[in-house]
């Protein structure tokens, strides 16, 4: 099953120039991670060494070797959101998240004039305060 979906992804990018990143994005979305076994299969399909594929997976923040099933709230911690007070919200957000939700920092969502900002999946939220952020984390 896993293998079929992987083969389907690889086939989709057969004619692509520089196909590795598009493949890794699709794999990460489909499986929640790029496991060592998958890396080997990708390497074989693209005629690369396993080390080359592993090097790329480990370089980029978006790719992970192990899946984390928890919902993820990405909170912008860059300068513009800092200037709008995001650091004061961290404690409340982490307390609300506990072990159930993963709070991960992101450096800029491009909402720098209306921060603090967060992203859950492809949904964005801005002008957050402690109460609204806690509500988001609890609903995630």
Partner 1 sequence: MIVRISDDSLALALGADALASGFEAAGATVERVSSWGMHWLEPLVEVDGIGYGPATVDDVSAILDGTSALNIGPIADHPFIKPQQRLTFARAGKTRPLSLEDYEATGGWSGLRRAQAMSGEAVIAEVTQSGLRGRGGAGFPAGIKWNTVAKAPGGRKYVVCNADEGDSGTFADRMLMEGDPFQLIEGLAICAHAVGAQTAYIYTRSEYPHAIAKLRAAIDLAAAIIAPLHMEVREGAGAYVCGEETSLLNSIEGKRGVVRAKPPLPALEGLFGCPTVVNNVLTIAAIPHILSEGGAAEYAALGVDRSLGTKPIQLAGNIKHGGLYETAFGISLHDLVYTIGGGTASGRPVKAVQVGGPLGAYIPPAQFDLPFDYEAYARADALIGHGGVVVVDDSADMGRLARFAMEFCAVESCGKCTPCRIGSTRGVELLDRIRVGAKVLDPVGALPQMHNAPKVARTADQDIALLEELCETMKFGSLCALGGFTPYPVLSALRHWPEDFQ
Handedness of CA 60, 61, 62, 65 (dihedral sign): positive
Shortest separation between residue 15's beta carbon and partner 1, angstroms = 11
**Strands, DSSP E only, in the chain?**
72-76, 102-106, 118-120, 123-125
To partner 1, the closest distance from the beta carbon of 87 in angstroms equals: 9
Residues in contact with partner 1 by the rule CB under 8 A: 17-22, 24-25, 46, 52, 55-56, 59-63, 78-84, 106-115, 117, 119, 122, 124-127
In this structure, is the dihedral angle defined by the CA atoms of residues 20, 54, 46 and 7, taken in order, positive or negative? negative
When the beta carbons of 46 and 134 are compared against partner 1, the nearer one is 46
β-strand partners of 103: 73
Q: What's the rounded Cα separation, in Å, for the pair 19 and 17?
A: 6
Measured from the CB atom, the residue of 96 and 126 that comes closer to partner 1 is 126
Pick 25 or 102: Cβ nearer partner 1: 25
Give the shortest CB-109-to-partner 1 separation in angstroms: 6
For the bound state, the minimum distance from the C-beta of residue 67 to partner 1, rounded and expressed in Å, comes to: 17
* Tokens 């609300």 belong to residue: 96
Cβ proximity to partner 1: between 80 and 96 the closer is: 80
Three-state DSSP class for 132? helix
């Amino acid at each position: 099953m896993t293998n079929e979906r992987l083969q389907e992804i690889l086939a989709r990018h057969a004619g692509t120039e520089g196909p590795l990143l598009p493949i890794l994005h699709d794999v990460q979305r489909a499986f929640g991670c790029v496991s060592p076994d998958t890396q080997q299969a990708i390497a074989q399909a693209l005629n690369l060494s396993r080390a080359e594929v592993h090097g790329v997976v480990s370089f980029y923040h978006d790719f992970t070797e192990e899946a984390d099933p928890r919902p993820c709230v990405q909170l912008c911690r860059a300068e513009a959101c800092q200037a709008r007070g995001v650091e004061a919200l961290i404690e409340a957000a982490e307390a609300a998240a506990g072990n159930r939700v993963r709070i991960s920092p992101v450096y800029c969502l491009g909402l720098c004039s209306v921060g603090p900002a967060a992203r859950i999946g492809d949904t964005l939220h801005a002008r957050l305060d402690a109460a609204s952020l806690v509500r988001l984390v609890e609903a995630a």
